[in-house]
Structure 1
Amino acid sequence: MPYNIAMVCDFFFPQPGGVESHIYQVSTKLIDRGHKVVVITHAYKGRTGVHYLTNGLKVYHVPFLVIYRETTMPTVFSFFPIFRNIILREKIEIVHGHGSLSSFCHEAILHARTMGLRTVFTDHSLFGFADAGSILTNKLLKFTLSDVDHIICVSHTCKENTVLRASLDPLIVSVIPNAVVAENFQPLSYSPKSHDAGYMKPRPISRRIGPDDPIVIVVISRLFYNKGTDLLIAAMPRILANHPNVRFLIAGSGPKAIDLEQMIERRMLQDRVELLGPVRHEEVRDVMVRGHIYLHPSLTEAFGTVIVEAASCGLYVVCTRVGGIPEVLPPHMTTFAKPEEDDLVAATGKAIAALRSGRVRTERFHDQVKMMYSWTDVAQRTERVYDGITGAISEEEFYGVQGDGKVRAGVQSYALIDRLKRYYGCGVWAGKLFCLCAIIDYLIFIFLELWATRANIDLAKDWPRKPFINDKNKPVDNNPYRLRHGDVMDRRNGSFVVR
């Protein structure tokens, strides 16, 4: 059955990134399957209000104060009135939050449960357990996930991390990886082979690298500590010293950019290292195809979509063996290294030698990645999660039956007393604080129901909805929406808005 879904996260376009791309791609594929999806995020520079993106995806850019790395100021309750208004206007049934560090995500799940809506949370990151920041983040995550219907993680390592951080039942956590639009990341070595029904079929062409040919190593990353920028700064001079015919091409921005520039000037590597600065996501492929090796020195990573994009472009990948990265690509596409300077230099040397010897057939990577990852498959698996929490499929089918014939998990109750019981078990002092937050949120909801009645909220017109795709991938046109005469769209600032 078709659903009305709200994707909520602080991180979305026009900011580039893996979480942003994930939300956009899953949303558009769910729309293709007949569902209605809106995205709720904060305002970006030049983006405020309601915008329409490709495929009729509506985005609400809410003007809230941003304090750090595009994360809004956590206020707990002030987001509730406008959130409720959007939910009622769009007739939302499922609220899907993304990101452990997204304030909008945590607040939206709290408010959605108060309003009696089904909720899903997707975790895209890995966190520790010892430092102060991780302890506070994990306690907040435990608060949010103690009253959520289902959790999705992008890798098995991410699932293990999330289950431990929030003390969850593993049965309510599913693993659904990221994907890539392989057609947008084709290598330069593709050329037409034949015509079939009017379409050109590309074929891969081998790029043989001689012993003296230059090799370009590409790095596309946010220049932050957790992305391994310090490790890159330490290893890069040694790699260039060991291999005279190697150059670096680095794209990205962040607080570590100054350290990187200073190292290049100090070592006088300006002629062998090119800094591109920040690049848009649609420009990533054009940068990647200029290289032969993709270097990913991250210190922590739940999945690493960029290495899938690099392999799809025909690059050999050198990456650190951390987090969920070992789950992403098969061994013949990657060379792994410990997150240490010496090992990263050695692994890069092995990759360079493998390319020069011809042992690695990178021209085959694109077709292999295309078979492994698909956003359509991700959307189908996400849709099954929605079916499970709404009762469209039985709990036995969704959660599975244990050895004693009983189902160990189930959807959460909306009742306030049941919610308070779950919150109370989150800690001696934190449990009482969480209960207080839930009670205040419920009182605000009652006040809003009396003061801003639902009858006074105008319902939004729906974009023409596509036929719903059932489990057998057959269209079922049981909810055809049509724009009436006079409903005009025009384009302003790069996106569609209602006139």
Structure 2
Amino acid sequence: MGYRIAMVSDFFFPQPGGIESHIFQLSQRLIDLGHKVIVITHAYKDRTGVRYLTNGLTVYYVPFYTIYRETSFPSIFSFFPIFRNIVIREGIEIVHGHGSLSSLCLEAILHARTMGLKACFTDHSLFGFADASSILTNKLLKFILSDIDNVICVSHTCRENTVLRAVLDPTKVSVIPNALVAENFKPDPSKASKDYITIVVISRLYYNKGIDLLTAVIPRICAMHQKVRFIIAGDGPKAIDLEQMRENCMLQDRVEMLGSIRHDQVRDVMVRGHIYLHPSLTEAFGTVLVEAASCGLYVVSTKVGGVPEVLPSHMTRFARPGEDDLVEALSGAIIDYQNGRIQTDKFHEQVKKMYSWLDVAQRTERVYDHMYLEKPLPLIDRLKLYYGCGQWAGKLFCFVMAIDYLLMVFLEWFWPEADIDRASDRAPRTHSIKPNNDE
């Protein structure tokens, strides 16, 4: 048995998304490499307690309330008793958190360091520096990552952003991109229409995903090209804007809205298209772009964040995140596709060679190895790191850290580690179970 790892995040299945898929696929490959991996997340509706997925992956769905975009309500100290019980029960050595906006992730890293465990953090997003929410998030991230063993970012742009936001030592920040299971995203040209150019959009329908931009672009493209249709999959608060646009412009027969879909349905939607449109305003990586290219779609995307690092130039076309630029780029791609200047038949094999979850797992494994070369800091040195987070914030963070440490001492007295039952190590299962909504 290798390392014993706990992946912690608010974002996991049955909710679809890039972080959710990343955690699941990385966990599976780490299990294949001989490590023990569990996932800790919050409950999703009636999905609570302990579930078992492929290869014996154990998932703890903790019954916490969510407040916004499936992020749990910050509990700080109330999560510690549950977290400590799970970690001791499973014999965890490394806590690996995912997502800057995940309360569970940030709290788990804090408690893990209090318990003397190794801690790693993967950042999947880009944030600004000027608005109030970014300032608060960055200050909180600086506090949590002051005593982190290692940080992983999914792109070089994301790395620069995280280093600046959390004031990190760049030598402690690694870049490991996302990947995909290429066999699950094979192209099928027979599913695509021969009479129309179909443009596919699969995204959460939120402002930062460029849905306002998409709402403005669709009527203009439909007016310019009569043989073009759109398929939009996803859900969110901006869905109402797309519905209103479709009604006002009378595009019901040219814009198909599928609503929320499971991750195992993404390929079936993508193979119906010819071009994938990605109008996001901010993106650290964009796994969906890799999935689209693997399915044989040509990608038109806004040139933001780490997106230019994802695919080679012959697979994608970029536009600035503005209405006119995106219309021009998408219209040019449609014309080139109709005239046979875009050939996508080799995309799948090329993507398959570029991205592999096994490679991601092996690189993550090397990060874990490097973490064990670092000696643990005594409590006084940890407090010095937290104190350096700001004139007033530093004092507050030290106070929080001291309370966390005292809570650990109390929990050890109230419920000694020796009294907590140990979980047996389950042998991996060889058959596959897809983590969909019906489990």
TM-score, normalised to structure 2, is 0.96
| 2: CA distance, partners of 1:19 / 1:432 | 33
Matching of residue 390 in structure 1 with residue 366 in structure 2: no
Give the structure 2 partner of residue 32 of structure 1: 32
Q: Per the alignment, in what secondary structure is the counterpart of residue 345 of structure 2?
A: helix
How far residue 465 of structure 1 moved from its aligned partner, in angstroms, is: 5.6
In the TM superposition, residue 414 of structure 1 has moved relative to its aligned partner by 3.3
Which residue of structure 2 aligns with residue 118 of structure 1?
118
The offset of 1:46, in angstroms, is: 2.1
Match of 1:453 in 2: 416
Correspondence 1:82 to 2:64: no
Residues 189 and 363, structure 1, Cα contact 8 Å, conserved in 2:
no
What SS does the corresponding residue of 1:50 show, helix, strand or coil?
Answer: strand
User: For 1:270-298, what per-residue CA distance to the aligned partner results, in whole angstroms no more than 9, with x for missing partners?
Assistant: 11111111111000000000010000000
Spell out the pairing of 1:72-221 with structure 2 (5 A cutoff): 72-189=72-189, 213-221=195-203
Please report how far the alpha carbon of residue 189 of structure 1 lies from its aligned counterpart in structure 2 after TM superposition: 3.5
Q: Distance in 2 between matches of 1:454 and 1:336?
A: 55
What is the aligned counterpart of 2:377 among 414, 419, 425? 414
Q: What's the counterpart of residue 438 of structure 1?
A: 401
Q: Which has the larger radius of gyration?
A: 1
Look up the match of 1:267. 249
Aligned position for 1:312: 294
Task: Give the distance between the partners of 1:189 and 1:342, measured in 2 at CA.
Answer: 30
Deviations 1:21-74, CA, capped at 9 Å, x for gaps: 000000000000000000000001121000000111000000011111111111
Change (3 A) 1:351 1:260: same
On the 8 A contact 1:4/1:35 being kept in 2, the answer is yes
State the partner residue of 2:11: 11
AA partner of residue 280 (structure 1): R
Structure 1 residue identity aligned to 2:250: M
The answer to whether the Cα contact below 8 Å between 1:97 and 1:105 also exists between their aligned partners in 2 is yes
Tell me if the contact between 2:116 and 2:376 (Cα under 8 Å) persists in the aligned partners. no
Which residue identity does 1:317 align to in structure 2? Answer: V
Report what 2:54 is aligned to.
54
In the other structure, the counterpart of 1:361 is: 343
The letter of the residue matching 2:413 is L
Report whether the alignment pairs 1:223 with 2:205.
yes
1:248 maps to 230
| Contact map agreement 2:98 2:122 (CA 8 A) in 1 | yes
Q: Which amino acid aligns with 2:51?
A: H
CA contact (8 A) 1:208 1:358 kept: no
Give the % identical residues: 71
CA contact (8 A) 1:34 1:465 kept: no
Q: Which residue of 2 is the match for residue 302 of structure 1? A: 284
Q: How far apart are the structure 1 equivalents of 2:189 and 2:354?
A: 20
Comparing 67-76 with 20-29, which one deviates more in the overlay?
A: 67-76
Distance 1:66 1:251 in 2: 24
DSSP 3-state at the match of 2:346: helix
The question of whether the paired residues in 2 share the 8 Å contact of 1:299 and 1:339 is answered with yes
1:344 aligns with 2:326: yes
Q: Deviations over 1:134-189 (max 9, x none)?
A: 00000000001101000000000000000000111111000000001110000004
The offset of 1:412, in angstroms, is 6.1
1:90 and 1:460 in contact (8 A); partners too: yes
In the other structure, the counterpart of 1:238 is: 220
Residue by residue over 1:222-279, the C-alpha shift from the partner in whole angstroms, topping out at 9 and shown as x without a partner, is 1000000000001110001000100011111000000110111011111111111111
Give the aligned CA root-mean-square deviation in angstroms: 1.6
**1:16 is matched by which residue type in structure 2?**
P
Letter in 2 for 1:442: Y
The yes-or-no answer on 1:286 pairing with 2:249 is no
Q: Deviations over 1:96-151 (max 9, x none)?
A: 00000000011000100000000000000000000000000000000011010000
> Alpha carbons of 1:289 and 1:442: their partners in 2 closer, same or farther (altered >3 Å)?
same
3-state secondary structure, aligned to 1:59: strand
How far apart are the structure 2 equivalents of 1:82 and 1:75? 12
Per-residue deviation, 1:338 = 0.4
Once the two structures are superposed, the pairs formed by residues 418-497 of structure 1 within 5 Å of their partners are 418-464=381-427, 494-495=438-439
Q: Deviations over 1:381-402 (max 9, x none)?
A: 00000000113xxxxxxxxxxx
Q: Distance in 2 between matches of 1:359 and 1:256?
A: 34
Q: Secondary structure at the match of 1:363?
A: coil
- In structure 2, how many angstroms separate the alpha carbons of the residues matched to 1:7 and 1:276? 31
Question: 1:90·1:459 contact (CA, 8 Å) conserved in 2?
Answer: yes
Structure 1 contact 29–376 (Cα < 8 Å) conserved: yes
Aligned residues: 433
Q: 2:280 and 2:43 mapped to 1: Cα distance?
A: 29
8 Å contact kept, 2:7–2:38: yes
Distance 2:217 2:93 in 1: 50
SS in 2 for 1:119: strand
**Unaligned 5+ residue runs, structure 1?**
191-204, 392-410, 467-490
Find the aligned partners of 2:259 and 2:6 in 1 and give their Cα distance.
Answer: 33
CA offsets 1:356-384 (integer angstroms, 9 cap, x no match): 22222101100000000000000000000
Please give the alpha-carbon distance, in whole angstroms, between the structure 2 residues aligned to 1:412 and 1:304.
35
CA contact (8 A) 2:387 2:394 kept: yes
- In terms of fraction of residues, the more helix-rich structure is 2
Deviation (angstroms), 1:494: 4.9
| One-letter identity of the residue aligned with 2:326 | L
2:432 aligned residue:
none
| SS in structure 2 of the partner of residue 29 of structure 1 | helix
Distance 1:258 1:349 in 2: 25
Once residues 361 and 240 of structure 1 are traced to their aligned partners in structure 2, the CA distance between those partners, rounded to angstroms, is 23
The aligned amino acid for 1:238 is R
Secondary structure of 2:235's counterpart equals coil
Give the corresponding residue for 1:325.
307
Q: Which runs of 5+ in 2 are unaligned?
A: 430-434
Q: Matches of 1:454 and 1:341 in 2, distance apart?
A: 59
- Tell me the TM-score normalized by structure 1: 0.85
